[in-house]
Structure 1
Amino acid sequence: MSAYTRLHALLVDDDPMAQVCRDLPESACRAQPRNYGVHIVSLGLTKVGEGLADPKLVLAWLLDAIGTPTWALGLLVPVRESLAMLPQLAISARIRQLAIRKTVYVFGCLVQGAAIIGFGFMGWLAQMFSGTVAGIVAVLLIAVFALGRSLSSISHKDVLGKTVDRGRRGSVSGTAGTVAALVTLLLALAYSMGWIALTVPVVSGMVALGGLCWLLAAFVFGSIREEPGATEGGIDGLAAVIAQLGLLRSNAPLRRLIVTRALLLSSALAPPFYIALSGDSTVSGLGTLGPFMIASASASLVSAYVWGRLADRSSRRVLMLAATLTALANAIAAFLALAMPQLLGGSLLLPALLFVLMIAHQGVRLGRSVHVVDMADRDSRATYTALSNSVVGLILLAGGIFGVIAQWLGIGAVLAIFTLMAALAIRAAAGLDEVQDA
């Protein structure tokens, strides 16, 4: 029995010699125990890479430390998120033409790893760049990274649906997320306690190490045993965009899922405002962000696997519960910001609320990922994933408006809006189908 098969037996508690699959052909079912382990190891490596090179914290600190302008820092997350989602409508049509799709994921990991290693080298060679040039290079690198992420995102869900049976897919992401969260938590503690020096060369080395994790993930994923998929029916270019956008009119379950995802962006957009509320004015002081990093990593550690297992039972209920937690955390933060701001400076209230919010965000990510895979059949997974990600990517482009609202009306008003969005998401998620019962 291989190490991958033993990992499957440990986490799923199944006899690998008595596989019974609901959603896989017999040949793919026999290979499932090994493929399950490959998925966890490869996905875990990419998530460790994300922890070592978090754009919201680590890359932003690195760019600020080498003197890049503020506009470059502000573009990191929007460029990363939108370019990771928007190209997927066109990409899904291309992927449809490939019988074996794991190569797309492998290529996407290689692109992401190369871009992150580029960030590490840029930190080491910072003295060769002016601040403006460094900012331009950084935005270009994060754009390349996002395009690689786009390839990996859509292809991974498709290969996951072809190699792991319904009822086990959530635990793949959950287990990988738990392992990566533990590594990120140790890193956050090391930064906070001074065990790892907060210098440009050291942080650049950690970022480059994160890039190497993606390269290793590509190597591991290349060993997965994937059955050829259907290739007929794919279309390209503008025709693909028009045809797939028609699903928004004709496919009510998919439309409800996209609405739910859009409303739950409140869990992803709120954390920077929590940090702003803390009164931390030292932009490059990563050490002062230690409690927030610890809160975020701890939330992933304690919740990722649990959310994954719950999503295998009912992704609909996971999204409802995650929306409830999001509304609760944002409502308390909004109340404190508007009514008792004196309690926020220097206290652990905001990191504690961020802990709850990031637990909710893990539920959002796992719940919507499992839901879109389980609601689709083998031939429509790539299309559903691409369409939902592209629509949400367009919405994310407008996310900068919340910064303007915060400037005009205050952060409390923005958090109140996020609370309302999450409350509406509870109702939207309640209208989703119980796809795990299909």
Structure 2
Amino acid sequence: MFKIALFYYLSFMNKQLSTKKIYNYLNNEEDERSSKGINDDASEYTPKNYFLIMLSSTLTKLGDTLSNPKTVLTWVMSYVNAPVYLISFIVPIRESGSMLPQIVIAGYIKTKKKRKWIYVIGSVLQCFSVMAIGFTTLYTTGSKAGWFIMLFLVLFSLSRGLCSVASKDVLGKTIPKQKRGKLKGYTDSVAGVLVLLAGLYLMYQSKNGADVTFYSYTIFFAGSMWLLSALVYAMIREFPGETSNEKNGWKEALESIKIVKSDTHFRNFIIARSLLLCSALTAPFYVLLAQNYLGKEGFLLGLFILVNGLASILSAPVWGRMADVNSKNVMVIAAIIASLLGIIMFVLISYVPNLKNAYWLYPLAFFLLGIAHSGVRLGRKTYIVDMAEGNKRTDYVSISNTIIGLILLITGGISALASMISTEGIILVLSLLGVLGAYKSYKLPNVE
């Protein structure tokens, strides 16, 4: 089905006039050759590249959802009886593993005139890694399964790092300013529809008794999304860009890290982004609250995936348009929503005990958190792409991701606090940090 859809989609892409019309409509564009932030040659291919990037990103977002460490991988490792201490590490390893090495990866990427092939290689490696996790789930159990899954998860994360740095470079070279936020917004919205359908399917399947075979096949399907994404991304028309002659990745990394000390604007962005992690870090604790008070049914897993997809569908296009006008304000508003939600949830759980067992409360809270997190992601991604051009953009992306990866690895142990304070207490602490993140984001200068 996906191959057929891909064939018709790419056939449609060859009709340049129709592509340009839709591109202009989506972006309220009168001048179809608008090239703010890119060269004139690249602007000719902007409409086609716009939809290729959208399709490629949509596929990977669906793959991400169906192999999410906070939900699907946690359930899978539980099914195969992997050690609990390994399960507690899957989220920080998946997230930080893709970020920590980026400062070294960037040194290599900057030597390449075209960077889309780095993304293609990274996507193929992610496909292999996720497929390997699926086979591990089918044929091994216990500690052996747990360690193999962790091994392939590390490979997945490193491959993800390649895509993260390369994709922002390609986006900056192929899509004009004030169009990038809308592109991300539309992508998240389309992906949200697919995620919503996936959630509905998981809810339906849970009634039929989903087992380890079902979840492993789900992971196989997720892996195939990265392979399709690589095929689509290879069709992007990218023109040669700025390069660096530095071959020593470690030396380049040490030189690049000095930017944090010398560039006040960039340093303040990193501080703000670190504090805005609250929207991501609180998500598993909302799920944990629901499990504590409602149980661990498969139906509940599907419901959380469904409302998260719905949140993207409704909010991402709005956030995207807002980000093209003022991305830092999107970061501020989204952080305030996430923080206020956490504070309100703490009050309700702590002082209104009758609501603890309300089935509607947790999906509703997760839906609102999904809206806020979508805004935080779109805002900070658009902001950093618009902050600079060329290799300086590559430095900004790689350095900030490396630092955030380190912070994630450190804060990944926050789950240990659950034994000392309540789950709702952790949500409150993270939400208060989010308030500070909103303030630091507000103090950043505009870049649009």
Q: Identity of paired residues, percent?
A: 33
TM-score (ref. length: structure 1): 0.94
Unpaired runs of 5+ in structure 1? Answer: none
The TM-score, its normalising length taken from structure 2, stands at 0.92
**How far apart, CA to CA, are the structure 2 residues paired with 1:246 and 1:12?**
38
* Matching of residue 237 in structure 1 with residue 249 in structure 2: yes
Shift of 1:219: 0.6
Deviates more, 1:34-43 or 1:170-179: 170-179
Classify 1:232/1:416 alpha carbon distance in 2 versus 1 (closer, same or farther; 3 Å). same
Residue 90 of structure 1 aligns with an amino acid whose one-letter code is: V
Q: Is it true that 1:246 corresponds to 2:258 in the alignment?
A: yes
Q: Given the superposition, is the C-alpha separation of residues 133 and 426 from structure 1 closer, same or farther in structure 2, using an over 3 Å criterion?
A: same
Q: Is the 8 A contact 2:289 2:423 kept in 1?
A: yes
3-state SS in 2 of match to 1:381: helix
* Distance change (3 Å), C-alpha of 1:376 and 1:235: farther
Give deviations 1:149-199, integer Å, cap 9, x for gaps.
100001000010000000111122211111111111111122223477512
Residue 130 of structure 1, CA deviation? 3.5
Q: Which shows bigger deviation, 299-308 or 387-396?
A: 299-308
How many residues align structurally? 432
Q: Specify which of 55, 73, 93 is matched with residue 79 of structure 1.
A: 93
* Cα shift at 1:4: 4.9
- Name the structure 2 match of 1:12: 27
Separation in structure 2 between the aligned mates of residue 422 and residue 271 of structure 1, nearest angstrom: 13
Matched, 1:287 2:302: no
Deviation string, structure 1 residues 58-79 (Cα, Å, up to 9, x no partner): 1211221122221222121110
Partner Cα distance (1:382, 1:52) in 2: 29
Could you tell me which residue of structure 1 aligns to residue 196 of structure 2?
185
In structure 2, what is the equivalent of residue 34 of structure 1? 48
Residue 342 of structure 2 is matched in structure 1 by 330
Select the residue among 400, 403, 415 that pairs with 2:412: 400
Q: Shift of residue 237 of structure 1?
A: 3.3
- 1:14-413 equivalences under 5 Å are 14=29, 18-125=32-139, 129-194=140-205, 198-232=210-244, 234=246, 236-280=248-292, 285-413=297-425
Tell me which moved more, 199-208 or 146-155.
199-208
Cα distance change on mapping 1:15 and 1:124 into 2, 3 Å: farther
In structure 2, the residue corresponding to 1:409 is in which secondary structure?
coil
Aligned partners of 1:106 and 1:182: how far apart in 2?
25
Amino acid at match of 1:165: P
- Determine the C-alpha separation between the residues in 2 that align with 1:4 and 1:115: 34
- Alpha-carbon distance between aligned partners in 1 of 2:85 and 2:27, rounded to the nearest angstrom: 47
Q: Is the 8 A contact 1:61 1:286 kept in 2?
A: no
Q: Deviations over 1:35-64 (max 9, x none)?
A: 111111111111111122222111211221
In 2, Cα distance between equivalents of 1:336 and 1:275 = 16
Q: What SS does the aligned partner of 2:328 have?
A: helix
Query: How far apart in 2 are the matches of 1:173 and 1:253?
Result: 24
- Further displaced range: 280-289 or 375-384: 280-289
Could you list the per-position Cα deviations for residues 373-410 of structure 1 after superposition, in whole angstroms to 9, with x for gaps in the alignment? 00112231111000111111111111134223221122
Report the CA distance shift for 1:7/1:42 in structure 2 as closer, same or farther (over 3 A). farther
Residues 118 and 10 of structure 1: CA distance in aligned 2, closer, same or farther (over 3 Å): farther
In structure 2, stretches of 5+ residues that fail to align are 1-14
Deviation at 1:122, TM superposition (A): 2.3
Q: Which amino acid aligns with 1:139?
A: M
Distance in 2 (alpha carbons) for counterparts of 1:314 and 1:240: 32
Q: Which amino acid aligns with 2:159?
A: G
**2:420 aligns to what SS in structure 1?**
helix
- Alignment partners' CA distance in 1, 2:145 and 2:370: 31
Counterpart residue identity of residue 127, structure 2: G
SS of equivalent to 1:313:
helix
Does 1:434 pair with 2:434? no
Contact 1:299/1:356 (8 A) holds in 2: yes
CA distance in 1, matches of 2:210, 2:302: 12
Distance 1:4 1:383, change over 3 A: farther
- 1:55 aligned counterpart, secondary structure: coil
> Cα distance 1:196–1:216, how it changes in 2: closer, same or farther (>3 A)?
farther
